[in-house]
Amino acid sequence: MNQHKIRKFKGGVIGMWLGDACFAKAKEGKNVSVRITHSIKQAEYAKFKADYLSALTKVKVTEVKCGGYDCITVSTRIHPLYTQLKERSKQFAKFVKRLTDEGLAFWYMDDGSICFSKSYNKHHVYRISSRRISLHTEGFTLEENQILRDLIEDRFSVKFNVSKKGQYWKLSCGTEEAKKLFKIITPYIIPSMKYKLNLRYVDSCDVPLSNQSDEIVRPVWRHTELCRNAVAVA
């Protein structure tokens, strides 16, 4: 890859790292690889990531069991570029500034969701009263969330808020800002993930909405803890 392609590639990997990817240390030596795990339901997306990462090294895609669930794991070979990125990630604010449009799309496909507030009008007709999107950044500290919020506004001109959920923090924004975001990332969204761009009302929505809470329930962990014990296949 030439220098331009390397910069673009790094920007995409940073987006994956902000989402579901981690840098995994090899059993021997100093270099690291990239490790990603998705539900088997997201196999198309996992394979898309594998194709993207194969521009640098060979990539292994494996179906595994994760806590009794069927999952698919994407593992790259170790490479000095990934080692360099891992070291730079320790300087969080400088590291995330390298995020590209494509990296932002990877991040949203990993951690983005659309939340609908639902209610009944005076005629007892079910309706969507409001919509917003969230980036589930609960694995980052308050300070890191603030850095990410400022980055998205400065780099992409999209305004997010940092909101508290229990003892954790996440990024969220309303419909108008979501439209700005979607205009940037839509060219990079794969077909199986386009449901995450659907801001329409329920009567024209491709994805059925639950009558329960509008929030997505997901496990929360500190991002720095996620890869602490990860070991790559050399």
Residue 58 is assigned to a structural domain of this protein: yes
Residue 217 is assigned to a structural domain of this protein: no
Please report the pLDDT score of residue 229 as a whole number.
34
Residue 14 is assigned to a structural domain of this protein: yes
Residue 41 reports pLDDT greater than 50: yes
Cα–Cα distance, 53 to 34 (Å, whole number): 9
Cα–Cα distance, 223 to 230 (Å, whole number): 12
Cα–Cα distance, 86 to 32 (Å, whole number): 8
pLDDT band at 213 (very low <50, low <70, confident <90, very high): very low
Cα–Cα distance, 185 to 152 (Å, whole number): 12
Relative to beta strand 168-174, strand 112-120 is unpaired
* 81 and 161 co-located in one domain: no
pLDDT digits (tens, 9 = 90+) for 98-156: 999 999 999 999 999 987 766 666 776 666 667 889 999 999 999 999 999 999 999 99
**CB-CB contact of 152 with 180 (8 Å):** no
Mean pLDDT over the full length of the chain: 84
Q: What is the mean pLDDT of residues 16-29?
A: 90
Residue 96 is assigned to a structural domain of this protein: no
The CA-based angle 132-41-218, given to 5 degrees, is: 45
Q: Which two tokens stand for residue 170?
A: 């996440």
pLDDT digits (tens, 9 = 90+) for 68-86: 889 999 999 999 999 999 9
**CB-CB contact of 23 with 84 (8 Å):** no
* 128 and 76 co-located in one domain: no
Please report the pLDDT score of residue 197 as a whole number.
92
* 72 and 122 co-located in one domain: no
Question: CATH number for the domain including 144?
Answer: 3.10.28.10
The conformational region for residue 172 under phi > 0 = left, psi -120 to 50 = alpha, else beta, is beta
- Residue identified by tokens 């590639």 is 9
* 8 and 51 co-located in one domain: yes
At 112 the three-state DSSP class reads: strand
* 151 and 192 co-located in one domain: yes
Please report the pLDDT score of residue 30 as a whole number.
85
- Percent of the chain's residues with pLDDT above 70: 79
Q: What is the mean pLDDT of residues 197-215?
A: 46
Cα–Cα distance, 228 to 81 (Å, whole number): 19
* 116 and 59 co-located in one domain: no
Q: What is the mean pLDDT of residues 209-213?
A: 34
Q: Which domain holds residue 156?
A: 107-204
* 81 and 125 co-located in one domain: no
pLDDT digits (tens, 9 = 90+) for 160-184: 999 988 899 999 999 999 999 999 9
